[in-house]
Amino acid sequence: MKVLVMYVEEFSYQPARKNLDDVEEITEGAQFSDSILAFIQVEESDEEKDVKSREKKLVNHLKWTARKNNCKSVILHSFAHLSESKASVDFTKELFDLAEKRLQNADFKTAQTPFGYFLDLNIKAPGFSLARIWATL
């Protein structure tokens, strides 16, 4: 799993184009502030491991990043451009849903960008050391 995490002062998206047939229709965008924005690519090799172990690893990383940025809001964004390897859609979505639930249980405010869509993104991210963190989990 590859993860690029950014602390964002402001983030918004608008659905641009649906790229998976089996997902619900989404036409409305959303806006966030003072959040951790996680660009996540789940890889094929992640499916060889238990989904719960991958979820725990991801959530621990996101919680650490949030603490370093004094933040309690996390946005999960599926971003299949960080690696050539891709996990199945079903495994990826299950991992995202489990991670979101675990974060909520730890008193984080959470959101997921629409799964199966290309999005128009607006990002305002400050330029300091821990505002952007890359990891292979």
Please state, in angstroms and rounded to a whole number, the distance separating the CA atoms of residues 15 and 20: 13
Give the C-alpha separation, 34 to 50, whole Å: 32
Q: Which token pair is 132? A: 């952007």
The pTM assigned to this predicted structure is: 0.92
Give the model confidence (pLDDT) of 52-93 as tens digits: 999 999 999 999 999 999 999 999 999 877 778 899 989 999
**Contact indicator for 133, 40 with CB cutoff of 8 Å:** no
Q: Any idea which residue has 């649906």 for tokens? A: 18
Architecture of domain 2-136: 3-Layer(bba) Sandwich (3.50)
Cα(49)–Cα(51) distance, integer angstroms: 6
Instruction: Write the pLDDT tens digit of every residue in 88-100.
Output: 989 999 999 999 9
Please report how many Cα atoms fall inside a 13 Å half-sphere around the Cα of residue 81, on the Cβ side: 4
CA distances to 16, 60, 100, 103 from 131, rounded to whole Å, are: 27, 17, 21, 19
